[in-house]
Structure 1
Amino acid sequence: MKKSAVILGTASLALSGCFAPPEPIVLSDDSIEAARTCFVAQGMVLREGKSEGDAVSYTELAESMKYALAAAAQTEPFSTETVSAVLNGTSDIIDQVGQQDYTGAIADCDARFGTNEPVSLPEEDAQAVLSCLTLSAFLQGAAESQAAEFGDDGASVVALFERLEARMETDPDVLVLLIGSDGDDVMNSATQTAFSAGSPQEFINQCAARFPAE
């Protein structure tokens, strides 16, 4: 998933030559193709005024991923591999999206994937622990070796993941949830819940507030 940060950096380069009045972006009926377009458009909005050499921030990475995560959550059978399917081919459409009204497309993207809805964690602590754990693990994977370069934001997600991992191994309610059902199904459901939240960064912020360091 490190490619997602590389793509965002490349988006800055695509913006440098845009002068003509942009045409509106029409999202594909295909969810994966639409999410791919929205990922690039969101990246361009976030990278406006920056050069390709400017480092991609953790917030930019997390915020740009929301459409890929939402598309995965809405695709059955659920699989995290859908995120990779969204990201594959993004490099091929950067120039095209950069010549269109990518800013105006964001409202359509939010409406299409429900990413502008209020974010809330599952009510039950055990389910919230697993959803927070899976999303923090996924974002770490997306950042990969760049976690250290993201500074405090990256470090806080790593710390959150470690806290939740320790809790998962000792919390009786979490253990009952995992043992009482198919463990893989439980984790997949928890991941799907987190992916469908709309804003991964807001979801992580709520996770950190609900399960703070002791």
Structure 2
Amino acid sequence: MPYPGQPKDTPIPAKLDRWNWGAFLLNWIWGLGNSTYIALLMFVPFVNFILIFILGAKGSKWAWKNRIWEDEAHFIRTQRNWAKAGIFFIFAIIALTFALIFGIFSLMKSSDAYKMTMAEIRKNTEVIEMLGEPIEAGWFVTGQLKIGQNGKGSANYSIPISGPKGNGKAISVVVKTNNVWQIKNLTVQFENSNKIIKIIGKKETAHLKKDNAPLLVADLNYSREFISRKYP
């Protein structure tokens, strides 16, 4: 609604009818502050994605119509403050997100399970031969860290590692029992190479099949000999 002394249906001046960043960034909050309650449709799934752009384009016109303004300067000042608040809000969300990610990574990398994993990697001669020394861990560590009651817990890590000779990725499974961490499985894969080093864990299935092959042949020969004796 225009400022006092003007008709209610006075259209918004052309110089004020522009993109409204406050409406775009703060949507339903801006709507409550500017008596533009259509902004509450932001809580409707799928509609909200389109509505933020409509609010940005139509927000100034709706705010002019739905509130009483002292003058044009009052309208401009108010909408500018909403835009500043929206920008501050977005930067605050980004900062909190980065702080949360940093906190999660720091927690994972400060655990005993992570430190044990890196210690095993750094002392393995095969890994040293492939990557060189020193072996460093990348920042973007993914996985899970669970600390339960009664001294139990578990951790799964995917750790990017690098050295003077190349890069790789370590995958580990660590279990905590009676307050003691133990690595159950630790494998290192290398970039630009098909080689996989199993530092801790069971032998690969392919190796087991190869080792068992002579036993299978022996069993087959024994079966043939038994049949030939029973049925000459």
TM-score, length-scaled by structure 1: 0.22
Higher helix share: 1
- Bigger Rg over Cα: 2
TM-score, length-scaled by structure 2: 0.20
Of structures 1 and 2, the one with the larger relative CO (CA 8 A, separation 6+) is 1
